Structure 1
Amino acid sequence: MASPTAAAAAAPSHRFLLLLFLALLLAPFASAAAPHRHRLPSRHLASLNASAPPTTYFEVDRPIRPPLGSIGPCSTLLLSHSFGATYGRPPVTAAYAPPECLAAARTRGGSLALAVLEWSADCRGRQFDRIFGVWLSGAELLRSCTAEPRATGILWSVSRDVTRNAALLAEPGEVAVYLGNIVDQTYTGVYHVNLTLHLYFHPAPPPLSQQADLIVPISRSLPLNDGQWFAIQNATDVQSKSLAIPSNTYRAVLEVFVSFHGSDEFWYTNPPDEYIEANNISNLPGNGSFREVVVRVDGQVVGAVWPFTVIYTGGINPLLWRPITGIGSFNLPTYDIDITPFLGKLLDGKEHNFGFSVTNALDVWYIDANLHLWLDHKSKKTVGSLVIYDAPPLALGVKSGFSGLDGKFLTNASRHVSATGWVKSSFGEVTTTFYQRFSYANSNVFTTNGTVQVVNQTIDAKSGIFVKDASAVLLSEEVHKVFPLYIYTGTSDQVGDEYSLVSLVKLGVNDKMVSGGKLGFSYRSLRNAQSARDTMRVKKNLVVGGLGNTHQVYKYMGTDGCYFRDVSSRNYTIISDKSDGSCSKRSPSGSDRFSLQ
């Protein structure tokens, strides 16, 4: 856990913009810090009419639709709590008992079709954004960020499909929520939260169950005065947990939760250490702009996560994310690593070590995982072997050139991991191949004596799984994700302790998946593009005025349906909003271009 840091003074004109970010605008991690030292509270918000209706904040995402023919919802309130002075205190917990409708459906021969975890909250006053997590029996179900409130109040909700955790939902346990918040005379916002589980059912069992039979948490155990995630504080820090898996396991998938905070909240903007040392700059994160999460089992690399660049609701410029929040900020993505090829080494009944590290990490990264296991109920023991394994070291290169506070840093990286192994169970001998291929490019440029910074970055991640037995291909699936990011920031018009900050942010997710084989065919295609710009006036570390504009285009097509939305906002107000849930050839706007306009 990092120590708290006092609020920094406004950066003088000779310091470059990134220092301004890290001294004024970034929010440190909520669960391991005192009041945020980096973001700028908004002075003008306190003077608004407190009797006006609250504003609804939202992250653009496609609605979660119950499967055709399903019955429901059966809804259960899991927890209701007001998170005020909760920083450094134990998570809020509540006993969990499987809803009666779940057992009743099984008695009638039905099955779970969909499980949705809904977080709904409201807040009024002044507060920073806070990271929070929801765990059930130690397995994380939701990682999210709170919205920053205003004097008139805000509302928001997050819905997450947690159907893959069906085995967990069927057993008694304990719900734990950690949201580290601080309330004092300045930061008055209390987060009032309801956590609800909605279940939908098929009237009959599905022909094939896609959910795991057992979910094993790879996280810290209660009691804690923090979240159940591991806190990784530097590049040499390795956090791990040892556990034994059932001897009749025939498939295993790691679902990894990742979030970055404190000095690494904006890791993609960090210059190399040599730039910081040459300019004798203190209190500025360095170690360059590349980060990756490396996952190991017994010290052997089994996969990696190159994370999407989530910008939290107070990030870069808080006026950009009101009421449309950044992609992934309310519902942080998770990352799957199929470790089935390695099962031959794990089926000996002994404990094995699952570890996480972050390349070039600064304080702090929160990481944990859920191990999803499929069990062979017709045998007591499966056997297997790893037959092909290839995981060369990370390829990382940095080209630097700078003079004083102006400079350009080009960073490129690539990694490849692949493994093939077989497992013999009552289903026969099945061979599984899993691979990952990553590439990364980042251009980080400082100009105008360091007062302007431009970051242009692309993360390209490909993964695939190929499963076959002696007679047929059971599954062939490929996923390709591209994360583009562009950030422009500049300061100007500084007079004493007052200045203007101009921000332009473009980020997106391009995601394609094709799956086929004996189990059927499916595909998805998502283009989710967001652009935001703002001019903000700052005086004495307070936002005293500004104008924020955000535009987002979301287009999803898949075998499970389609969804389109084109929405724009300006300073808390939605000025245009078009959506369509059909699979028509043309979207309402006729375009899904990734545009800054």
Structure 2
Amino acid sequence: MNGFPLNSQPSPGHNRARTMPTSSSVPGLLLLCFTLLSSFHSSVARPHYHRLSAQDVATVEAALPARHHAKAKTTFFEVDRPLRPPRGSSGPCSTLLLSHSFALTLTKPPVTAAYSPPSCLSGGRDVSLAVLEWRADCHGVQYDRIFGVWLGGAELLRGSTAEPRPGGVTWSVHKDVTKYASLLAAGNATLAVYLGNLIDDTYNGVYYANLTLHLYFRRKAAQSPPAASAPAPADLILPVSRSLPLDDGLWFVVQNATDVESTRVAVPPNAYRAVLEVYVSSHYADEFWYMNTPDQNGPFREVTVQLDGDVVGAVWPFPVIYTGGINPLIWRPITSIGSFNLPTYDIELTPFLGRLLDSKEHEVGFAVTNAQNSWYVNANLHLWLDPKASTTAGGLVSYDAPKLAGSITSHSLDGIDGEYRATASRNISATGWVSSSRGNITTTFAQRLSFANTNVVSSNGSAQAINQTIDAHTEVGGGAAYAQQLHHSFPLYIFLGGNSSGTSSQRLMRRVEIGFVESRSGGAGMGTSTLRNEQVAEAEVVLQDDQVAGASWRMHQVYNYGASNGGCYLRNVTSVGYDVLFDHDDASCGGTGRR
């Protein structure tokens, strides 16, 4: 589980149940001032939980029909489009980077290994695709755990493990790491992997993992990449993370709403572009931040990126549900969106390069609005360098980052049932110029973000329904080759309830509808792309005299991707219990593969 097992706390069993505040129609700002809402308080423990214990899951497994009693390992999978190298590529050149058994690793240093560029990278070969493969399995009893992979302090992958079944579980992640090509080719470095696992009298599952790098190369005859390809990867990647040695991951741990975690970085004087790639995940009291009531700082969270104390960008994160969240049965065998490979978020810092080109160290920091313990945040600073000049010059033309706007209102007649609504919005913009051998280029970075969350509690506190939408529009302009527009929409609906009818029989119901919707359009050569990745899942556990009598669950997911360069991928998959009943995929770009 990613509320406790990612950390060094004792076994949590269930999270404390959430309850409605007793005040009615009380407004408040969604800044860092939820102390003004002290009249909200939890008064009644509701009989639904956001997680099931390993013992609960084992009891459910035992109550399933015999055909579901797995004697062999079950494969869990996250739906994503396959990674294929461009036409004409050679490879793969595959290198095993690490093989390790993660047993009692909580509060211990990350596992490290010396990294040298694979020999196939010699001679300045042009990488067309780099894939980092994480493949793991686990037997026994265990919660899901967070893990991270860093190379030279820069994070390459963050994910959640699968929770094992009695017969064991296996899964794999294939992440496109082509944008880290300069890091993969740059001299000797330390590879670090942290997976905080706990072994005790109850939890005995050991995670066995292999980490492999697969490289593909453009053939010499292919010459330059096609016009529709993305811009070249950065020339240098600087980690914005904690440094080894540590008894934890290299991520910063933001523990509350006033905590700012930071480090100092120095940018080479010939940089002409800078992009900060942010990794973020929520844990402990904020694992289910989107379900939080006002006494828990409400449901709104944002990660602010600060440069020398100024807010220069914001991340409004996708609500990743880990493989043990809400009800772990829902995510078997199809896991939740982003659970095995958490998304990252880019903040364009090019307008601020004028500040950074003085060869001095500057402070890059992170805070989480309304945070409770805890959030794991770090970043990679991608830098493009002018090969024809030892220095570049730049200046900030304009910068505007108004304070976050928002409100929260609540209404309850009896202090138990009722609803509250939370909204928030933010705009950030900056324009700056950089003069290099490429000319004098002015770049504009703008973000427009909006958030809405409604939480309704009913049936005397036994049911809770959450409706939430995050919309994020990011624009990078100025005529540069890397100009683009990016729009994200993250719809989320969660229902938790029960039906006992005053008898000894009770049904515990969960339903999750979640989507990751993205549209992207770029400048010269980048084209356009769209993605609709949507899941509808539900589970029901039947209790008889407080004993598990049965369980059922189902998942339907549609992943639909299309791009103007001719690439497309459609996957439509349905599972009931552990059985995949329907699984159709299409990469032919025919009528069924495009919307």
TM score, norm. by length of structure 2: 0.88
1:479 aligns with 2:486: yes
Of the three residues 219, 224, 227, the one matched with 1:206 is: 224
**Shift, 1:46, TM fit:** 6.3
1:232 aligns with 2:270: no
Aligned-residue sequence identity (percent) comes to 53
Deviations 1:373-419, CA, capped at 9 Å, x for gaps: 11112111111000011111111111111131112111111101111
Q: Counterparts of 1:88 and 1:548 in 2: how far apart (Å)?
A: 35
Q: Which residue of 2 aligns with 1:583?
A: 589
Q: Counterparts of 1:240 and 1:255 in 2: how far apart (Å)?
A: 15
Deviations 1:248-287, CA, capped at 9 Å, x for gaps: 11100000001001111111111112xxxxxxxxxxxx11
Which amino acid in 2 is paired with 1:329? S
Deviations 1:78-120, CA, capped at 9 Å, x for gaps: 000111111111111111110000114x2xxx31111000000
Q: Counterparts of 2:345 and 2:10 in 1: how far apart (Å)?
A: 32
Deviations 1:265-323, CA, capped at 9 Å, x for gaps: 111111112xxxxxxxxxxxx11110000001001111000000111101101110000
Residues 1:497 and 1:379: Cα distance change in structure 2 (over 3 Å): farther
1:143-292 equivalent positions in 2, closer than 5 A: 143-171=158-186, 172-204=188-220, 206=224, 210-273=232-295, 286-292=296-302
Do the aligned partners of 2:236 and 2:382 also contact (CA within 8 Å) in 1?
yes
**Shift, 1:10, TM fit:** 9.4
Residues 1:395 and 1:301: Cα distance change in structure 2 (over 3 Å): same
Q: Counterparts of 2:202 and 2:55 in 1: how far apart (Å)?
A: 13
Q: Counterparts of 1:158 and 1:218 in 2: how far apart (Å)?
A: 24
**Shift, 1:158, TM fit:** 0.3
| Count of residues in correspondence between the two structures | 557
1:459 aligns with 2:470: yes
Which amino acid in 2 is paired with 1:116? V
SS of match in other structure, 1:193: strand
Residues 1:14 and 1:508: Cα distance change in structure 2 (over 3 Å): closer
Do the aligned partners of 1:212 and 1:372 also contact (CA within 8 Å) in 2?
yes
Q: Which residue of 2 aligns with 1:280?
A: none
Q: Which residue of 2 aligns with 1:52?
A: 71
Q: Counterparts of 2:459 and 2:269 in 1: how far apart (Å)?
A: 62
List 4+ stretches of structure 1 deviating above 2 A.
Answer: 5-22, 24-27, 37-53, 204-209, 473-476, 491-500, 537-545
Q: Counterparts of 1:65 and 1:409 in 2: how far apart (Å)?
A: 46
Do the aligned partners of 2:282 and 2:375 also contact (CA within 8 Å) in 1?
yes
Deviations 1:506-558, CA, capped at 9 Å, x for gaps: 000111111123xx241111111100011024699996641110000111001
Q: Aligned-pair RMSD on alpha carbons?
A: 2.7
Q: Which residue of 2 aligns with 1:43?
A: 59
Q: Counterparts of 1:493 and 1:212 in 2: how far apart (Å)?
A: 58
After the TM superposition, which of the residue ranges 495-504 and 382-391 deviates more from structure 2? 495-504
Residues 1:63 and 1:9: Cα distance change in structure 2 (over 3 Å): closer
Which amino acid in 1 is paired with 2:116? A
After the TM superposition, which of the residue ranges 160-169 and 186-195 deviates more from structure 2? 186-195
Q: Counterparts of 1:121 and 1:476 in 2: how far apart (Å)?
A: 38
SS of match in other structure, 2:330: helix
Q: Which residue of 2 aligns with 1:142?
A: 157
SS of match in other structure, 1:42: helix
SS of match in other structure, 1:583: coil
Q: Which residue of 2 aligns with 1:311?
A: 321
Do the aligned partners of 1:420 and 1:433 also contact (CA within 8 Å) in 2?
yes
Which amino acid in 2 is paired with 1:256? V
Of the three residues 403, 407, 410, the one matched with 1:400 is: 410
Do the aligned partners of 1:40 and 1:542 also contact (CA within 8 Å) in 2?
no
Do the aligned partners of 1:26 and 1:315 also contact (CA within 8 Å) in 2?
yes
Residues 1:240 and 1:127: Cα distance change in structure 2 (over 3 Å): same
Q: Counterparts of 2:517 and 2:381 in 1: how far apart (Å)?
A: 27
Residues 1:388 and 1:222: Cα distance change in structure 2 (over 3 Å): same
Residues 1:543 and 1:420: Cα distance change in structure 2 (over 3 Å): farther
Q: Which residue of 1 aligns with 2:135?
A: 120
Q: Counterparts of 1:249 and 1:162 in 2: how far apart (Å)?
A: 22
Q: Which residue of 2 aligns with 1:83?
A: 102
Q: Counterparts of 1:463 and 1:39 in 2: how far apart (Å)?
A: 44
Greater relative contact order (Cα 8 A, min sep 6): structure 1 or 2?
A: 2
Q: Which residue of 2 aligns with 1:531?
A: 536
Q: Counterparts of 1:542 and 1:187 in 2: how far apart (Å)?
A: 22
Which amino acid in 2 is paired with 1:375? L
Q: Which residue of 2 aligns with 1:358?
A: 368
Q: Counterparts of 1:357 and 1:463 in 2: how far apart (Å)?
A: 20
Do the aligned partners of 2:17 and 2:45 also contact (CA within 8 Å) in 1?
no
Of the three residues 88, 105, 110, the one matched with 1:69 is: 88
Structure 1 unaligned regions, length at least 5: 28-36, 274-285, 593-597
TM score, norm. by length of structure 1: 0.88
Residues 1:301 and 1:192: Cα distance change in structure 2 (over 3 Å): same
Do the aligned partners of 1:26 and 1:265 also contact (CA within 8 Å) in 2?
no
